[in-house]
Structure 1
Amino acid sequence: MKVEFEIATIEYIPKLLEMMRGFNAVDNYSFNPKITEQNLTDFLSNESLGRLWLISVEDKPIGYVVLTFGFSFEYGGRDAFIDELFIKERFRGKGIGTKTMEFILTEAKRLHINAIHLEVEKHNNANRLYKKLGFNSTNRELFVKRLTD
């Protein structure tokens, strides 16, 4: 199965919104399509924020991955966060997640990123993949304080 990755553009927003709704539904996260559409427009219009790739099989979009950029003194400069990785359910367990992560790791090196962070629910089966690819727990907790609704 040939997996392809394409930088998303504004034209893909309707497809991305549909998949993002699915991503949020997995763990019953709230989803506001209006805010998400504006965030997509802002993100896709500014390369300094990161990259969003559409994942396709046989020229059909089956998922997406978002890499957001940051900066860390602890990690020696530019770092990134895999903010979202979504693959439609019927395509899971077929090696697409592995190919996607290998692609992201290659792209991160090309983009001069020193460390990649990700957050994953404890029940998510992808935890095995991340550990296999060398992601480790820092034995720290990720704390978040929302400043908006």
Structure 2
Amino acid sequence: MSLTAERVRADEADILLAMARDFHLEDGHALTEAGEQAIRLVAAGEPLAPTFFLRQDSEVIGYFVLTLGYSPENGGTDGFIDDIFLRPAWRGQGLGKAALQLAITEARQAGIGVLLLEVEAHNNRAYRLYEQAGFTDTKRRLLRMVL
């Protein structure tokens, strides 16, 4: 009984969308219509955002999205864990750590040299998990502009 990561298929878009809605609501940022469309695109195989279901045996218990970018500062191809989510019933069992390691493995296999992520300021539990996995605080602020 081990956790695995498998690419999401187009016919699984509704499962992914339901989990993405839960994740974004939980984080206090409801998924917008544009966000829902983006989730359908990643399920269909968007090459800049490989997306994986986390499966415990055959049951889908979560997902993660890697987004690919390029940064001279980061030495070329970099990536961002845009979403990483475990259904609440599966938390507190060490599966978050295993899920993160699977995301890191997939990032390496995709040729990503530097992996980034963001965490809500109030989510100290996730922050500690990321630090323990080797992520470091950049001491920078992430800003955004909707175009």
TM-score (normalised: structure 1): 0.90
Moved over 6 A (4+): none
Equivalent-residue separation in structure 2 for 1:122 and 1:140 (angstroms): 13
The residue type paired with residue 136 of structure 1 is T
> In structure 1, what is the equivalent of residue 61 of structure 2?
62
Map Cα deviations across residues 74-124 of structure 1 (whole Å, 9 max, x no partner): 011000000000101111111111111111222222221110010001221
Count of residues in correspondence between the two structures:
146
Equivalent-residue separation in structure 2 for 1:31 and 1:41 (angstroms): 12
Structure 1 residues 27 and 50 mapped into 2: Cα distance closer, same or farther (>3 Å)?
Answer: closer
Cα shift at 1:39: 1.4
Do the aligned partners of 1:13 and 1:37 also contact (CA within 8 Å) in 2?
no
Select between 103-112 and 42-51 the one with higher mean Cα deviation: 42-51
Unaligned runs of 5+ in 1: none
Do the aligned partners of 2:77 and 2:112 also contact (CA within 8 Å) in 1?
yes
SS in 1 for 2:19: helix
SS in 1 for 2:84: strand
Do the aligned partners of 2:66 and 2:79 also contact (CA within 8 Å) in 1?
yes
Cα shift at 1:57: 1.3
> In structure 2, what is the equivalent of residue 129 of structure 1?
129
Map Cα deviations across residues 10-42 of structure 1 (whole Å, 9 max, x no partner): 11111111111110111221223x534421332
Equivalent-residue separation in structure 1 for 2:5 and 2:72 (angstroms): 30
Equivalent-residue separation in structure 1 for 2:74 and 2:88 (angstroms): 34
Q: In the alignment, does 2:39 pair up with 1:18?
A: no
Equivalent-residue separation in structure 1 for 2:96 and 2:7 (angstroms): 17
TM-score (normalised: structure 2): 0.91
Unaligned runs of 5+ in 2: none
